Each structure stands twice: as structure tokens, then as C-alpha cells.
Structure 1
Amino acid sequence: MLNVDPDTKTFIPLRSYLTDPNRAGPGYGLQYSTAPTIQPRGHLNSQDGFDLEVIDSLRREAINVREPHVSGLKKIAAYAAQLVWMGGKFPIDIGADFTWFPALGYNTKRPVSQDNLKFELCNILFNLAALYSQLAVSVNFSSPDGLKSAANYFCLAAGVISHIKDKVVPELRTAPVEDMDIVTLESLQELLLAQGQECFWQKAVMDGYKDSSIAKLAARVSDLYSTAGDWAVQSEAISSEWIHHMAAKHHHFAAAAQYRQACDCLEKRKYGEEVARLRDSMVCVNDALKESRYINKTVLSDLNGLKNKVSEDLKRAEKDNDIIYLNPVPPKSELKTLERAGMVVARVPPDVASPLDHLGDNALFGPPLFAKLVPFAVHLAASIYEERRDRLVSTQLTAPLSALTASVHSTLSALSLPGSLQALEKPLGIPPALLAHAEELRQSDALARLDRSFADTAKLKATDTATFASGREALLAEEAEDAALRARFGTLRWTRPPSREAAPKLHNQIAEIESYLASAAASDDLVRDTYRTLAPLLRILAGPDRALADFVPASRRAAIPPKLEAEASALRTCLNDIARLESRRRRRIEALREAARGDDVHPALLAEAARLERERPDVTIVTAHFEAFFDARLGTRYDSEIAVVAAEAEEQATLLRAVERANADFVRARRGEGGGEREKALQQLEGAWVGYKDVVAKLEMGRTFYNDLSRIVGRFREEAREFGYRRRAEAAELESDLSLPPLSSLTLQNQTQQQQQQQQPSPASHAHSSHSRPQQEEPMPAPVATRNPAPPPQQQQPPLQPGPVAGMWNPEMGIRFGGSPAPATEQKKQAGDWTWLPLREAGEVDGWKMEFELNSPGSGRGNGGITVSCVAGPAAAGGAGGLEGGTGGGPIKHAKCERTNSPNRCSAFLSRGGALCDGPEEGEVKAAEDGEGGGETDRVAEVEDA
């Protein structure tokens, strides 16, 4: 026959367990939220529109699971699996605001909205864990199979919580809501495991296991409840009732473990150790009973039963050991630590750990939705590839080639080429190459084109600067508003993070964009200074031929010596080779840019994405999976071009060395010849032409830079404004909460209304109340899981504040001390108002006394009048003054008042420095028993004095 001990009665379904309440969210349609987001990108077709309806239907079914039934598991898990699949197809900020009400904490009626797929997944999985825990407490605990099922459900619930904590929350990209932060999830996980371990303990007791085995199981239960409580006290969401419940359970099972081990010691004739363990068990039981106010009747009954059992066994054990066995009782420090037998572990359900394995045409959750939709990671990968390709082409191809060309011009200018050669070859008139340059400038209207380019660049710069300034001002204004509110309410009350902590990326962008603008401004000034230096020469070069001929003086020499002519011919050959190299290089740069513009990577990326999905269907595709693809494609297309640049650099170096040797021979052969002024003029015009080409290239680069920057600053401004709007709404909500009247004043006014109603009792109630005793206060029930349907909150009307009631004290009257008389306006009031009387013999006592009288019409103090007294003083005082209890020092914090229709003064207590003085019962003060007439008891009004 099963011996049912008191420590086997802990588990009562829906009472002893703490189940996770469901999170509730409004069931709006995803199709209306996501379609506007993805349709403009060209990703949505007719089939995808149908899939939107399907995912919307799955969401409605998932959030409407309210009852603990196994059919709800599939509904929630199916929607969660599709959300995981959608995470690879859509960006995390899909464009739908998912609204949920917290399940735990003190803000369960305040919705939280986020445009975040992972936030939606967190809430859905939280509900799945809640459903597992509710299934656990709905089984039949009177059978071993029911206990095994309950333990299994608790382990699965803990596994889902573990999955949320380890896999989903780190991917949120935002701070988790308060009831899904790490400490709260850790506490819930340990709590669920504790309850699962408790099921195994209950089954061991039911199956009649040895006491030593049951003690090991109970010790592990105690550890898990202790860990859950330790995490809970760090959480802002777990209520104090739950914390007290966990503490009671921890001490309860510690006592049960020691009791069972004591029974094992008795069986093994270890009588001294039995006494020691029973004493420790009694200590643990008493610690658990300290939480009796907060735990439910079932747990309290179990504790009292266990206490009685332990007390009886302890008396018997001590008596037997003292009289018969005489074994030494070891101290607790010498007792061997109880071994632990852990039977539970957080097990993640397979459909949660690997949800994509359950999606397919013949799979449990059906085919994956949006299967033909290009994954968002592919679009991101295409953007990344294009950025890397353009950067490679610019930094490793076109920029090095342009640098080589600049090196050629610098070398030729240092050698006064080709001006010196042109002055010799054509002593009269303008050289043909210079005439070609002049004609090109005239045909392109070069000077006006440059002026327009400078104006356009300045306009782009001004627009970008204004856009950035607008975003920066919005961000700094929000920071200033937050700082002002923080200074107003204080850092302890204004608990939200500062602006720079809430949006570090945006604040870091300010310095980053400012550095961009400063660098660009320096480059612009350099280009403009270069243009100012070249402008006079360019005007000559672009002007009429007559002005150009006047600028270039003619040479007086008519014949060229044969040796000089030979050296000049050799130099001209080298310069022609350089010119051909430059021409070929310009064509190569244009070809590279054209090839980059025509490099469409999307088909190859789609093929690569399909391969990845086939090879690893359980892995969500992210851009990191395409790194090898990027490297291979860029290497195939551009490695050969990079090698060509290196070869061209070597070729140019060879040609420049040949030019330097030929020019040295030319200079020696030309020594003593005239034509220096003409050579200088031609070289200046040639340098102006080269400088013009450089300015045009840099203006084009500047225009491209500011166009790219416009997208960056535009996005920065929008994000800053959105952040400011969101923070202002959050600040307004927080400010309204902090501006509410103190809860103590509301409580006092409510008690005042109750006191007014009780001041007009019926005659029957007078007779009854004179003999009635305060009833035993009911213990606070232990927290019980409730499933909050949480409908969308309606707009609440502000609560009506009750006004002061005539004849009743209210906080606005204040409390006066000392013997000074009240102001003239307060010394005499109408009947029904308070009259403040001066203190009597206040100097004779170490304390303060207040006395005020309520004058009722037609009644006197000795004939049914109502007198209310509040007295404070040292405990030694008393007697005629009517002083009872109280302490000295410090401002009065609370007041206990009572009323009586006895003519004698009723006594009350005023405590200085904190706690209310205890009355006969919590919240009541007994009427004075001396004097004549029937006494009447009233509820205490707590007064918080500022």
C-alpha cells in the first residue's frame, strides 16, 4: 500500500505550477503590410500574392490558440517554420508592424510594436513554450504516465525558451522587450525544468522508491527552484509573487530532501545523523513558511503537513537517541552534502530546432511559401558584388592606369617636352598638335562647360550639406529633449537609454559624414585653385588663332644642323610611342568601365542560391554564403586585367627611360641654339591642356561623389527623423506615466470614501460590531497561470479623482505638530469639519501628540460624539495623557487612526522613521475598551507625509 507522506502533495494541476501566460497579438492581415513593401521592388507575382493570404491565415490560427490542446502545437509551429523560411526571402524589417502584449511583468496591457520578423518569431515561439507548459499542468497527476507526460512537456517548454534565448534573441538587432530579456528567459527555463524535475520526484514517491533516491531527486528540485529565483530577482518582468513562490518551493524541497535522507539514516541506524538532518529539515520548513503570505493554500497545507511530520519525527528521534542510542549529533557543517539526481534537460522540439526540415510538398507543415521569390539575401549579395566590382575596377585598374598617365605628364613637363621639340621643329606659327588642342576646346565650349560643372557641383554640395544638417539637427534636438526630460525627472525615474546609446550608429554617422564633406571641400578648393591658375592660358588656347599666334613668339633660326635634326627625330619617335601608349590606355579604361556596367550578376547569383538551397536546405541563406562566389567571379573576370596593368607599368617605365636618354642627347646637340621664349610659351600651353583634362576628370569624380553622398545623407536624415518621432512618442508615454498622481494618494482617498460609508452604520451593525473580532486574514494566493486574451486596448478615459469629503481628513489638510494654534481660518469650522486642538502638556513627553475632534450636530463628547485621536510618544509614556507606543525622532511617515462612538479618547500610533505600528490585525486598530458606550472599529488610513 502506498504511504502518502505530506511532502508528496505539492503538485496540484493549475495551482502549484506556474505556467507561462500566452502572449496575445491582434490578428491583422500580413498581406496588407508586406505587399506594399515588396511590390515596388519587383519581387511579387500572382503566386506570391496567394502565399501572402496563406501566411496571413497561418498567423490567425497561431495567435488564436487559447486552450491547452495538442492540436495547437502544430498551428503555432507551422507558422513559426514559415517565419524562419521567410527570413531568408525578406529583410528583417519587412514593413509590417507586429503588435504584441507582454505576458509577464507590470505592463501586460501596453502593446509593443516592432517592424521585425525576428520579433514576431520570438513571440510565436514564446506562445509555443507557454502552450507546452499549459499542457503539462493539464495532465492527470494521479498516474505515473500522467507525471511522465507532464515532465516531458515541461522539458519541451524549457527547450523552446532555450531556443529563443540562444538562437532568436541574438538576431533581433534591437533590445528585447522586458519579458524576453536574457535574465527573464533564464528564470523561466530553470522554473520549467524545476517543475519537470518535480514530476519525476512525485513519480518516485508514487512508485515507492528508496528514501535515498527520493532525497536526491528532491535536492535537485530545490537547486533548480533556487536558480530560477536567483535569475528572477534580476528580472524586471517577473512579479514578486512568482519570486516568493520559487523561494518557498526551494526551501520546501530542501526540507523534503533532508527529511527523506533522515529516513534513510534511520533505516541504516545512523541515529545521530538522523537527528541532525531532521533539525536542518525543520529549519528549511520554517524558512519556507516565511513565504506563507504569498503562496496558495495547497502549498501552505503541504508545508504545514511536512512541518508536523518532521516535528513529530524529530521529537521521537531526539528522545530515542538521548535515552537509547546516545549517538553524537554532528553539526550541519559536518553532514555530507546530498547527492543530486538530475532527470530533466531542456529539449528543443525537432520542429523548432530544424523547422525547414518540416517544410515540403509532403512534409508536416506543407510546402514553403514564397518559394519562387528571390531571397532578399540574393538582392543584398548583388549589391555587395556590384560595390566590390566597382571598387576593384576603380582602385586596382582605372586608378593605377590614370596614375601612370599622370606620371608621364609629370616627367615630360619636367623635361620641357614637347615644348622644346615643337619650338625647334616649327620655328614659325603654331605646332599642329597645339592647334588640335585649341580646336577641341573651341568645339566643346570648354570654359563655359567648366563653369557649369563648378556650379552644378556646388549645387549638389549645398543640397547634400542641407540634407545632412537637417538630419543632424533632428538627432541633436531629440538628444537635447531627452536630456531636458532626464534632468526634470531624474536618472532613477527616467530609465530609458540616452540618445547616443539608443542610436549609436546614427550619432557615429554624424562624424563620418562630416569627415566626408570636409575632405570633399578640400578637394573642391584644390580643383578650383588649379582652374584659376590655368584659366588665362585656357582662354588664350580657346581663343582665336591670332591671339594664340601673338602669345607664341617666332624663332629667328632658319636652318637645323644635321646632328640636331637626328637627335630631334629620335626624341620625336619616343614621344610618339608615349602618345600611342596613352591612347591605348584611354581606350582600355573606357572598356573596363563599360564591361563593369554590363556585368549582370543576378542570373549567376540565382543559380548559386539554388545550389545552396539544394545542398543545405536547413540553413537560411545569408550574404556570407556568397563570399566564395564573389572571389571566384571577380578573379575570373579581372585578374587578367590586373596583370595587364602591371605589364603596362613596366612598358611605360621603359619608354620614359628612352625619352630621358633621347632628350639628354637632344639638349646637348641643341646647346647654344636660341628659341627659349618660344619653347617656354609652347610648354605653358601644353601644360594648360593637360591641366584642363585633369580638372574635367576631377569635376566628374566630384559630381559622382556628391550624387552617391546624396543617397547616404538622405537615408541618414530619414532614419534620424524616424528615430526622433519614435523617441518622442516613447517619451510622451513615459512622461504621462511619471506624471500620474502617487498611488498612495489614490489609496488614501479610496479608504476615505470607505470610511465615510462606515460612519453611518445601521443599529444592527452597531450591536454586531461591538462584539465582533477581526477575521483571520486569507493568505495571498500563489501565482496561477492565466491566459490573457489581451484585446487591443481602447482609449482609456482619465480616472476620476474623488474630491475631499466633508468631515473627513484628506491629504490637502496636512498634519500640524506642536502647541501653536491653528490659523484663524481653521480654529473654528462648521459642524462636520475637523477642529485642530493644541497639544496638552507636550513638553512633558519625549514625543508629539495630536488630538482633533469631530463635532456632530446635536451630539457632544459625552453623548455619542465622535472623537478621533492620533498620539505618538515613547513607549514608557502613558496614563492620563493617553499616550501609547510610538518612537521618537525623524518626521512622521505614517498614521494609524480609528474612530469610536465612545466619549473616551481612542488611541492610535504615529511612527517616526518608517513602518506602521502593528495593530491587533493587519490594517485594523481595535477600539478602546475602557469608557462607556459601544466601541466601533474602522479601517486604518495610511498617511504618507511629504
Structure 2
Amino acid sequence: MSTHNNNLVPLPFKHTQPLATLADDILAHLANTSESTHPDALRPDALAWQHLRLRAFAHSGLPLVHKDSGPLLEQYYAQLSFILTKLPSETPLTFPWYPLFISPSSLPSTSASGAFPPTAASAAPLAPPLALPSLEYERAGVLYDLAAVHAALGTERTRNDEAGIKAAIAAFQTAAGVLTHLLTLLPRLHASLHGGPAPADLSAPTVTALRDLCLAQAQEVAWQKAVMDRLKNGTVAKIAARVAELYALARGAAELARAGTADAQPFAFPEDTIRYLAIKEAHFGAVAQYRRAIDDLGANRYGDELGRLQLAEDKLQEAGKLGRRGVPDAVVRDLKASRASPLPLVLVVLLMLARGGTDAEDNNLIYLSPPTPASSLPPIPPATLARATLPPTLAAPLAHLRAPAIFAALVPRQVAEVLELWEDRKRGWVDERVEARARALECRAAGLLTQLHLPSSLEASHQPLGVPPAVLDAAARVQAEGGVARLEAMMQDVRRVAGVNARMLKEATDTLDRESTADAAHRAGHGPPRWTRPSSDAAAQPLRERAQQLEAVLRTAGDSDALVRAKFGEWEAALRVLEGGRDALAREVPASGGGAGGNGRGEGEGEGEGDAQRDRARRALRALLDQLADLRAARARVVDAARTSIAQCEIRERVLREAERRAAEGRARGGEDEGEGEGVGVGAREGSGLEEWEELLEGEGERLMRVWDEEMRRSALTLPTSDSPTRQAQHSLLASASATPSAAQQARERATAHYATAGDKFVEMLQNLQEGLAFYAKLGKLLGELRDACRSFDYARTAEAQDLARALSAAPSLSPPPPSSAPAPAPAPGTPRRRTPAAAAPPARGPQGQGQGQGGEATPRRSTRRAAQAQAQAQVQDGPASPAPSAVKTPARSKKKAAAPAAASANAKEEEEEETREEEEAGEREEVPAAAAAVGGWDPSQGIRFG
């Protein structure tokens, strides 16, 4: 049904594109990420996903407007919710969706079959699709199109009988409920984008505007039903006032979406849509005032009647000034005529005002009731009959899966995250509580040996000639690892990768600076009041903070590289000697001057008791060094055993059992908790995370690490100290030697210690450079991600700026009045003020077609009032008059006022009007809750009941 024959409009659909390779792409992703399930076992599930999406959107990328489309989209939504319990929302797959309102100058429309007509706009969308790697994005698009299907079904219902009206109201209320649910899921969508630009057509103001549009149209159909049931004029006025209020809210949200907010990009709502909302708002504001004017007439509130008629005329003129371009013909006809009254509502109001205009002087003279100013008119309290209704299949989607769950064989996503966190914890425990403590103990032992010049001093004392074995071992290590050339090559590699990382960081910051400069130019060109999108400083703040963090890390790494280069410069000469082998070392390590076992003082000087004492000291020291070496080897074996044992410790079954227990508790709590937790994890609720698993992880970790903590504690107790036997044996060896060692002996010991230490420094620098290369590789990955994020940010902001610039250049503002940035707040009860305009026509008195006759009003009979006024006029001018003819009955209150003095008439009039108003409001309070109660108990499949 075309919108030109309908005074209600559907929601625009979100186009998508078929994903012919969805199954293959998801299987390729699972092959790289799933360690527990083979991808071939998941192929049927992947194909089922691809087939279900194709059924939901067909090859055109649009759902059909049919009663079977709703359950199909609900089923796809439920499957996506279940998939989100197995997979993270961020995936390598991208889901393309076109923005809303692909035709920027027309209202959304549906053909007879429910699909968009084959126009150029639908065949070739003006904007490219936005493809995002987020399952939350796909789910939001599905949920929105489900709301659009319900809204389209509501517009296609024939509303000339009670069944059609009930079905239309049910459809619009369901559409509003779906959009309300979508609003609750938008934070998850934004979180899945990790600070990237969110789709402007799925922002909170945009969805709110369309939600309020659905509620307004549901309330409008309820108003039509109230007119058909001939409810009191005061009741109809309250229902119409709520219609106007909802259209005003929708218009305010749409204008807020056009302007943009701190959390949402500007979205170019079509002018025709905002014009349609403004006309409806003004029209129903006039309808509410007109109906209340009839009510005031019956209650003899003549001043209020004239004031409300004047206000209704103002609102109708306001609707006429907005223009008709792009507005459905049926909406324009609502302002003109209906079956119940061949006169347009505008003319009806003008005729009533014309009749009342000649009586204005009569009111002033007789009834003391001049037209009430608009600011003094009592506000019309709105009566809400339409409310957003969420289907149970969306409130608890996992409980309404009517087909086998897709990827049920996969480990739940939160379980996988817990297991991944467990692996990270195990690696951390090995590093911090085993390897780090072992390294600290090793450094203390090495420091003590270096302080005692061991084992080089022992070897120098035992072997006064030739190169000591410790130095030869150091030279062998240096030669085996490539020597100085390898260190120089690795330092060059470190400088190269550090430069690459620095260039990536500079490229990222330059991209942000370039975008900031472009944004400043746009802001200066269009002016800050019009260029309302967030500034670059605010939008790019997370990226700039990340860049600053990585820059600090890169600067610290550069300082560490400088220390390694300085260390290399200090030990380069010694390393080149070690690299030269035995011959080079023989030239650098002097002899002590004596033969084997001598002390450098003569051939026979070391014989006798002194030599025996030195030999005993050497053997004791050698035994202690061997014992220390055994302890160090045992500690290394403990570290290896701990590394292997901790890596093999699994808690998979324990976590699965705990997850199932929590899921069962969630199901026992009911569908509401399940609906809150869908997409988060098995049994998890919204806002919950891995912190609720901390107790389990900490308990398992303590049980696992208890034995290895004890092993490391025992290993620390065996470390040599200042009064250890090793130090005492070294002192004994020195005491057994000559009291004054020769210069040659001292030089040999210094050279031996120097080159042995050089070998240790070589190993240390080699490890530092290897760690540096690995560090820069990881840092390069982070910087690459930052650079790509900055590029994506620049691309999205540039496209957004171009769209906003085109919108500012091409879109004239509606007149009158200028658009507001937010919907006006509802007046406080009892506050006299002019109500916000609303747009729709007054009701007819009988069943009408949905495209016609919903806006006209029949002219009420005014003979009673005119006769009373005529009689009062005659009494004032010509004295008492004869009773009026029986065909024209004069109200008793009017006769009473005419006979009383002017002051008494005024007081009596006020008292009687107050009594009459209280009686009428009591009757309306009885009538409106009856209709509202019928709405509150309605069945979504049956629509709404009245009366």
C-alpha cells in the first residue's frame, strides 16, 4: 500500500548485502581460533547460519513485509544471541548494512508486496554500505528490520473495522517495543567497536525518534477508535493531546539526531520526515483544542471555547505554513474534509470563530466571558493508550530457539575467556614466582663468586702458567655464539626495528594531526554553531592517549638500548680478545712467574707444609664450588619441572561445570535474567565480567603454586652468604698463600677475572638484544594496530565531515518554527500555557477508511447557546421578553445569569463552571482508564480493546 493513500507511514528498512561466503569465512576464522573443535565438525552449523540469513533477507537484502517475516527475523536474532555466547562480537567477518533513508527527499514507502518499489533510489543507494566486523552490528541491523516489518504491517492494515484497528495498534506497539529493546543494546554495539565511529543511523537519538513515531501512530489509531466509539469530547481531546505530544517528541529527537550529540554522530534525517512529524504535531494539537472547545461549549465555558478555537486555528495555520512537499496526500486530506463533514477542519474552526465573533461583545456584556488567552487556558492532560510492547521471543531469545542452536559444540565464549585468562595467569605465575625468583638467586650467587674472584682466582693459583680453563670456557662461548660480529649485527637490527616503530608512531600521530587540521578548517568555514559534531580533540582522545603511552614505552626502550650499547663499548676490547681464542688470551693473561703449583717466589719455595696446606684449601674450595654448581643445576631442574607441570595443569572441566551451574541458576531465575545475559556468556548477566571467576582462579592457582613456592624457598636457603663455607674456604686459600702476593700473580688474577667476566657480559648482552628484538616485534604490532585505527578514524571522520558539509549546504531549515535541539518538556500539571502543536485531523462520527475521513470534524449544534444569548440581549435592551419557543430550550444557567446583576453573574458563573468542570473531569476519568485498562491487558496477537 502506498503512503499516498495512507495517513500513516512505515519505517525505512536497512538494506544489507547477501554474504555468499559467510560459511567459508567463519570456518576459516574458527580454524585459527578454535582449539577444541575441528572446523569440519562445524561446517553444518556455518551453512545453517548462511542459509538462515539468506532466508531472512533474500537476495535483495530486504525482509518481506509479511506475517511470516517477523518469526523468521526473531529466529535469526535468537541464533545471533546464542552465537554471541560462543564467539566474541569482534570477528574478521564484516557485515555490510546501508544507512537508513537511502532516498533522502522522500518518506519511507512500501509497495503492495511490502518491498521497496524498484526505483533508482533503491536500485542504486546514494550511500555505500557500512561494513563493520561486529556481530553486535549484525544483530542490531536484524532487530531494527524486525521493527520496520511490524511498522509496515501496521500501515497496511485496513482500519475501517475494530479488528483492523486492533491489529494496527498491536503492530505499531510491537515495533516501538523492538526499538526500545534496540536502545538497550546500543552500548554493546559501541563497546564492540572499541572507540571507532558508530553508525549514525543506529545512534540513540535516531532510534528514539523512530520509536516515538511508532508510538505516535499507535496512539493515533487508538484515537481513531475512540472517535468511532463516540467517547466524550474531553476524553478524545486527551487522547489527541497525547498523539501531538508523541509526534513532538519524535520530531525533537529527529532534530537532535540531525544536530548530533557528544556520543552520537549527526544523522541527516530527511526533511520530508521532519515536515511530516511537524504537520502531524500541529494537526493533532488543533484537534485536541477543537475537541476541548466543544467540551467547553457544553459546559458553558464560552471564553475558554473561543480561546481554544483561536488556538486551534493558529495551529492549523502553522501546519499549512510547513508546506506539503513529500508529505502523503492522505495527511493533507485530513486537514481538508471527511465523510462525516464535507467541510475542512480549518473551515469548521473558522465558521465557529465567525459565529462566536459576533457574540464577543455579548460575552463581555452579559456573560463576562471574554476569549481566554492561550497562556491562561488550562492544559489538556494527555491520556496514554499506546505503550511499547516487547515480544517474549526477544525478551528471552535463548529460551525461544525453535531450531538447533548454531555452534552449540563450541566452548562458550566466556568459558573460553576464563580458560585464556587461566593460561595467562599460569604464565605469569611461572615468570614471577618461579623464574624471576630463580634469576634473583642466580644473580646473588654470581655476585658472590665475582666478589671472591671465583673460580678464576682458584684456577690462577692452581695453574700459574697458560690460560685458565674458566677463560677458555668464556672464549668458547663467545666464539660459539658468533662473537662481536653477532652483537654488532643484532644492535643494528635493534636500531632498525626501533626506527620502524618510531615511524609507525609518527604516521599515526600525523594522521590524527591531519584530521584535526581538516576539522578545524570545516569548523571555521561553517561556524561552530552549525558544525556541531564533536571536536577532533574529544573524538581522538583515546587514540592520542594510546599514542602517548606507546611513545613513553618506545622512549624507555631507547634508553635500554643505549645502556646495552654503552656496555658493548666497555667490553668490546675484551670480547675481541676472547674471540681470538687461546693464542690471543695467552698474550693477554700473564703467568704468575712460577711453575705449576708455585706462588711466583721461586722453584722450591712452595714445597713442604705450605704446599700441602694450599692443596687442602684448593680441594675444599673446589668441592664447595662443585656443590654450588650442583645446587644451581638442581634449581634449574626445578624451574623446568615447574614450567612443565604448571603448563599441563588444566581446569577446563571445572570451569565447564561451573558455567553450567550458573546457566542453570540463570534459567531458574526466569527469562528476564536470560534476556539480560544473552550475548554476554553462559549464565552471565549484563554488566558481569570475568571478575566473578576470580575466586575460582585464585583458589586453583594457590593449590597449584603451593608446592613450587616451597621448592623455591628451600632453594633460597642453600644460597652462599657472607659467612658461608665458600667464603671461609676462599679465605683459607688466601691465608695459605704468601702473605704478599707478587705483582705477576695479582696481574694474572685480574686478567683471569676480567676475561671471565667479559664472557658473562657477552651472554648478558646477547640476551638483552634478543629480548629487545622480541620486545620491538610486539611493540610494532601494537603500533601497527594504532596506525590502522588512526587511519580508520581519519577515513570515518572525513566521510562524516563530507556528509555533514553536504547536509549543511543543501538542507534548508523548516519554517516556522526553527527546529529545536531536543523535545520540549511536558508542562507541569495545572500550568496554564499553550500546548505543543500536534498534527492530525479530528475524528469522524462513524467507521471510516484508513486513508480518508480521519481528520474531519462535524460542526456541533450551537442553537441552544445562540437562543440564550438572543434572549439575554433582548432582556437587556427591551426589558423582559416572552419565553423562548419550545423548539429552542434555553439552559437554566443562562437564564439565571441573565437575570442577576453583572457582578453576581460573574461570581456565580465561576462557581458553576468550576462545578461543571469537576463533574466532566470525573466522567472523563472514568472513561479514559476504561480504555487504558483495555490497552494494558491487550494480547499482542489480537491488538487493542476499547470499551
TM-score (normalizing by structure 2): 0.65
Which residue number corresponds to residue 932 of structure 2? none
Farther off after superposition, 179-188 or 524-533: 524-533
- Aligned pair in 2 of structure 1 residues 112, 723: CA closer, same or farther (>3 Å)? farther
Farther off after superposition, 544-553 or 451-460: 544-553
CA contact (8 A) 2:4 2:328 kept: no
**How far 1:72 moved relative to its partner?**
0.6
Task: Give 2:23's aligned amino acid.
Answer: Q
Which residue number corresponds to residue 162 of structure 2? 144
Give deviations 1:452-499, integer Å, cap 9, x for gaps.
Answer: 652563364256346536645765675687679779988658999999
CA contact (8 A) 1:23 1:102 kept: yes
1:111 maps to 2:128: yes
Give deviations 1:830-858, integer Å, cap 9, x for gaps.
Answer: xxxxxxxxxxxxxxxxxxxxxxxxxxxxx
1:170 to 179, 183, 190: 190
Gaps of 5+ in 1: 1-10, 745-780, 786-946
Which residue number corresponds to residue 88 of structure 1? 85
1:522 to 559, 578, 587: 559
Which residue number corresponds to residue 215 of structure 1? 237
**How far 1:193 moved relative to its partner?**
1.4
**How far 1:368 moved relative to its partner?**
0.9
Farther off after superposition, 15-24 or 509-518: 509-518
1:429 to 464, 467, 472: 464
CA contact (8 A) 1:429 1:549 kept: no
Looking at structure 1, the residues matched to 129 and 172 of structure 2 have their Cα atoms a distance apart, in angstroms, of: 27
Which residue number corresponds to residue 57 of structure 2? 63
- Aligned pair in 2 of structure 1 residues 676, 379: CA closer, same or farther (>3 Å)? farther
Which residue number corresponds to residue 306 of structure 1? 345
CA contact (8 A) 2:79 2:405 kept: yes
Looking at structure 1, the residues matched to 216 and 586 of structure 2 have their Cα atoms a distance apart, in angstroms, of: 101
Looking at structure 1, the residues matched to 470 and 33 of structure 2 have their Cα atoms a distance apart, in angstroms, of: 47
Looking at structure 2, the residues matched to 732 and 331 of structure 1 have their Cα atoms a distance apart, in angstroms, of: 50
Looking at structure 2, the residues matched to 667 and 118 of structure 1 have their Cα atoms a distance apart, in angstroms, of: 76
The count of corresponding residues between Structure 1 and Structure 2 is 727
Give deviations 1:283-329, integer Å, cap 9, x for gaps.
Answer: 33332332253444433343353333334444448577446533465
Looking at structure 1, the residues matched to 272 and 229 of structure 2 have their Cα atoms a distance apart, in angstroms, of: 32
Which residue number corresponds to residue 254 of structure 1? 285
Alignment of 1:245-394 (within 5 A): 245-294=276-325, 295-304=327-336, 305-314=344-353, 315-316=355-356, 318=360, 321-322=363-364, 324-327=366-369, 330-359=372-401, 364=402, 366-374=403-411, 382-394=419-431
Instruction: Report the secondary structure of 1:96's partner residue.
Output: strand
Which residue number corresponds to residue 673 of structure 1? 739
- Aligned pair in 2 of structure 1 residues 440, 605: CA closer, same or farther (>3 Å)? farther
CA contact (8 A) 1:184 1:231 kept: yes
2:10 to 11, 15, 19: 19
Looking at structure 2, the residues matched to 233 and 249 of structure 1 have their Cα atoms a distance apart, in angstroms, of: 15
Which residue number corresponds to residue 926 of structure 1? none
CA contact (8 A) 1:82 1:368 kept: yes
Instruction: Report the secondary structure of 1:25's partner residue.
Output: coil
CA contact (8 A) 1:21 1:104 kept: yes
Task: Give 1:27's aligned amino acid.
Answer: P
CA contact (8 A) 2:501 2:776 kept: no
Task: Give 1:287's aligned amino acid.
Answer: E
- Aligned pair in 2 of structure 1 residues 239, 588: CA closer, same or farther (>3 Å)? same
1:203 maps to 2:225: yes
Give deviations 1:89-116, integer Å, cap 9, x for gaps.
Answer: 3444434343333232656432313142
Task: Give 1:181's aligned amino acid.
Answer: S
**How far 1:21 moved relative to its partner?**
1.8
Looking at structure 2, the residues matched to 523 and 285 of structure 1 have their Cα atoms a distance apart, in angstroms, of: 77
Looking at structure 1, the residues matched to 483 and 666 of structure 2 have their Cα atoms a distance apart, in angstroms, of: 56
Give deviations 1:58-113, integer Å, cap 9, x for gaps.
Answer: 11221136543211101112122222222333444434343333232656432313
Give deviations 1:379-421, integer Å, cap 9, x for gaps.
Answer: 6555544344323322343223322332344355456667778
1:75 maps to 2:72: yes
Alignment of 1:539-688 (within 5 A): 539=577, 543=582, 550-552=590-592, 554-556=599-601, 558=606, 560=610, 581-596=631-646, 598=648, 618=674, 619-621=678-680, 624=690, 627-642=694-709, 644-645=711-712, 649=716, 652=719, 655-656=721-722, 658=724, 673-675=739-741, 677=743, 678=745, 681-682=748-749, 685-686=752-753, 688=755
Which residue number corresponds to residue 132 of structure 1? 150
Looking at structure 2, the residues matched to 609 and 704 of structure 1 have their Cα atoms a distance apart, in angstroms, of: 39
CA contact (8 A) 1:151 1:199 kept: yes
**How far 1:32 moved relative to its partner?**
4.2
TM-score (normalizing by structure 1): 0.65
Looking at structure 2, the residues matched to 688 and 469 of structure 1 have their Cα atoms a distance apart, in angstroms, of: 37
Looking at structure 2, the residues matched to 634 and 329 of structure 1 have their Cα atoms a distance apart, in angstroms, of: 82
Task: Give 1:59's aligned amino acid.
Answer: R
1:458 maps to 2:449: no
Looking at structure 2, the residues matched to 281 and 126 of structure 1 have their Cα atoms a distance apart, in angstroms, of: 36
Instruction: Report the secondary structure of 1:543's partner residue.
Output: helix
CA contact (8 A) 2:241 2:382 kept: yes
Instruction: Report the secondary structure of 1:98's partner residue.
Output: strand
CA contact (8 A) 1:427 1:555 kept: no
Report % sequence identity: 24
Looking at structure 2, the residues matched to 297 and 550 of structure 1 have their Cα atoms a distance apart, in angstroms, of: 110
Instruction: Report the secondary structure of 2:130's partner residue.
Output: strand
Farther off after superposition, 235-244 or 696-705: 696-705
- Aligned pair in 2 of structure 1 residues 460, 153: CA closer, same or farther (>3 Å)? farther
CA contact (8 A) 1:156 1:347 kept: yes
Give deviations 1:585-631, integer Å, cap 9, x for gaps.
Answer: 33333333444555567676666666666665743355737555543
Q: CA RMSD in A?
A: 4.8
Task: Give 2:381's aligned amino acid.
Answer: E
1:700 to 760, 763, 767: 767
Task: Give 2:170's aligned amino acid.
Answer: N
1:440 maps to 2:473: yes
Task: Give 2:68's aligned amino acid.
Answer: S
Looking at structure 2, the residues matched to 292 and 536 of structure 1 have their Cα atoms a distance apart, in angstroms, of: 91
Give deviations 1:672-697, integer Å, cap 9, x for gaps.
Answer: 92227546743663465356345424
**How far 1:580 moved relative to its partner?**
5.5
- Aligned pair in 2 of structure 1 residues 569, 465: CA closer, same or farther (>3 Å)? closer
**How far 1:183 moved relative to its partner?**
1.8
- Aligned pair in 2 of structure 1 residues 446, 12: CA closer, same or farther (>3 Å)? closer
Instruction: Report the secondary structure of 1:274's partner residue.
Output: helix
Instruction: Report the secondary structure of 1:111's partner residue.
Output: coil
